[in-house]
Amino acid sequence: MADLLASIASSNAAPAAPIATTHRMGLSEEEAAFLLQEATAFAAGHGMLVQAPEQRYAHLPYCLLPVAFPKTQFEKGVALGPLFGTLVDRISEDPDWLHAQLESVLAEDPFTRRLVELSKLVQANGRAQPASLGIFRSDYMLHDDPSDEHAAKILQVELNTISASFACMSSLASELHHYLLSRFEADMPSLARYYGTTITSLASHLPANPALKALPDALAKAHAHYGRPSAVVLFVVQPNESNSVDQRWLEYTLWTEHKIKVLRRTLLDMHRATQDATTKALWVDGKYEVAVAYFRAGYTPTDYPSEHEWSGRTNIETSLAIKCPNVTYHLAGTKKVQQVLASPAQLRRFMSENESRVLEACFTGLYGLEKQSPDLAASVIESIAPGAHHQCHSIKAAVRANPQGYVLKPQREGGGNNFYGQEVVDQMDKMTPEELESYILMDRIVPQETPAILVRNAQAVAGATISELGMYSVSLFVHGKAIVNEHAGHLLRTKLSSTNEGGVAAGFAVLSSPFLV
Ligand code: ADP
Ligand code: MG
Ligand code: MG
């Protein structure tokens, strides 16, 4: 332990670069440096950590202070969570529809094809387990509308239905910011000025973040529903997970709060798991019955280097264990399904008129890239660039006219897969029509920039930033009926606006939290 602390200390020995006045927003350089020291100590002391190679741990990169965020928009995000929970469950009750929507991406996307095959297999066998557990995170960016006096509204980036991570780390980031504001507000008047306000009780502007408790509670409810107190919760993990501490917090909380045992196993390990021939109960090492299988792996093709991992996944999916998520929930979270649901008629297949309107208020333009009929193509172009389809003979032409307005996305998770700006044009020119069908096109959301101080390896990097708000929700549905379906905390990721992508683990963004105004 002393070695660990010594090595982390030595790697942080370089002096911090000075932070420009404009990015300090009224804090003096000394105050910023002091807060940075306090915050890094808090992060270490409270386990806001990431696993570095060779079993070493470092603090997760974080935003020094919470970022101003409109309260009404945050509350909208809270209300949207359960609606997405209902939507995903209703889609999973209609697997033929789901599989049909994904048909066009399958030719050039062997990974999604495999998942659809698995989903069809589960359907053909008859689901062994009628209960479905969801731990979702719907991600939004605050779109800045210059035509409406810079009115800002949240627009959905995507819905994550598998392996939505950082819930525990995000609760810790909220605690960190709560501590800094409440502890130092009286000593440091410039903290209030940082938010351009003279109000007191700064910490009261930070919304409660129950994620660290709400996720284990949901896993425990599913465990109770399964009905065998001695059964375990299985965490399906990647062999080299760097975000393991985030998962460990769930594991420890399940033990201390619920006395439920967690086992960590890889998909490869699960290849050797067994199923009871009659009940389909899933057993690990021949002695642990699995009540709930929680996936923190399996969302990306590289999680399946051989057939063994697919057999591990199949073992779980066809079993009696309650899956979080099951493969239909997983597929309901694909970008293709998000794009299809942006069509009003498709959304209303699952949701009432009122529910649909609430959901649609956070949708941005989403476009399929099927080899469509000329009529359909014209209507898509009309929606991309109203009145422009006389000049634009194809989606490609519409995109070429404004490359900065779009993001091109494949059916992938985990960040780093999208194309932006000129890349969109280049990729669309390069790809065959079949390849293009496996992607979707989305309007680029343009948030307003905020100056902020980001801290990585105890070093500050300051600049203009943009943020992405993630809203967790948890659900437990049985035969279409909700036993649990509620908001479960939030995540704010802040990144320098010069970077496109938003994954914290990928090294582009930092943990942050909203200061509601
Ligand atoms: P993934 O499932 O890989 O996380 P996302 O859809 O979340 O895929 O895209 C990754 C990142 O790309 C997001 O976190 C965000 O920073 C950026 N991004 C995605 N879609 C948009 C968009 N429509 N407008 C602006 N940025 C986007
Ligand atoms: Mg995702
Ligand atoms: Mg994402």
CB of residue 219 inside a 6 A radius of ligand 1:
no
**Ligand 1 centre from 65 Cα, in Å?**
24
- Annotation-wise, does 445 bind a ligand? yes
Angle between helix axes 95-106 and 71-92 (nearest 10 degrees) is: 100
Catalytic residue, chosen from 119, 138, 165, 244, is 165
User: How far apart are the C-alpha atoms of 180 and 193, rounded to whole Å?
Assistant: 15
199-203, 226-230, 433-437: least confident range: 199-203
The confidence band for 504, taking pLDDT boundaries of 50, 70 and 90, is: low
Question: Which pLDDT does position 415 carry in this prediction?
Answer: 87
Which pLDDT score, from 0 to 100, does residue 261 have? 98
Cα(177)–Cα(147) distance, integer angstroms: 34
Q: Would residue 160 show up in a list of annotated catalytic residues for this protein?
A: yes
| Model pLDDT, residue 432 | 94
When mean pLDDT is compared across 104-108, 192-196, 247-251, 464-468, the lowest value belongs to 192-196
Considering only CA atoms, give the Rg of the chain: 23
Angle at 247 between CA 466 and CA 172, to 5 degrees: 50
State the virtual CA torsion across 16, 64, 19, 23 in degrees, nearest 10: 170
Domains in the chain: ranges and CATH = 64-173+206-364+463-516 (3.40.50.1760), 366-443 (3.30.1490.50)
414 is catalytic: yes
Report whether residue 312 contacts ligand 1, using a CB cutoff of 6 Å. Answer: no
Across the chain, mean pLDDT equals 91
Q: Whose CA is nearest to atom 20 of ligand 1?
A: 157
Q: How far apart are CA 434 and CA 418, in angstroms?
A: 18
Residue from 407, 423, 498 whose mutation best tests the ligand 1 pocket (most atoms within 8 A of CB): 407
| 260 annotated to bind ligand | no
Amino acid residing at 251: E
CA 159 to centroid of ligand 2, rounded, Å? 7
User: How large is the average pLDDT for residues 174-202?
Assistant: 92
Q: Is 56 a catalytic residue?
A: no
Q: Cβ contacts of residue 207 below 8 Å, gap of 6+? A: 74, 174, 490, 514, 516
pTM (2 decimals)? Answer: 0.94
The proportion of the chain whose per-residue pLDDT surpasses 70, expressed as a percent, equals 90
The per-residue pLDDT for 398 is 85
User: Is the per-residue pLDDT at 123 higher than 50?
Assistant: yes
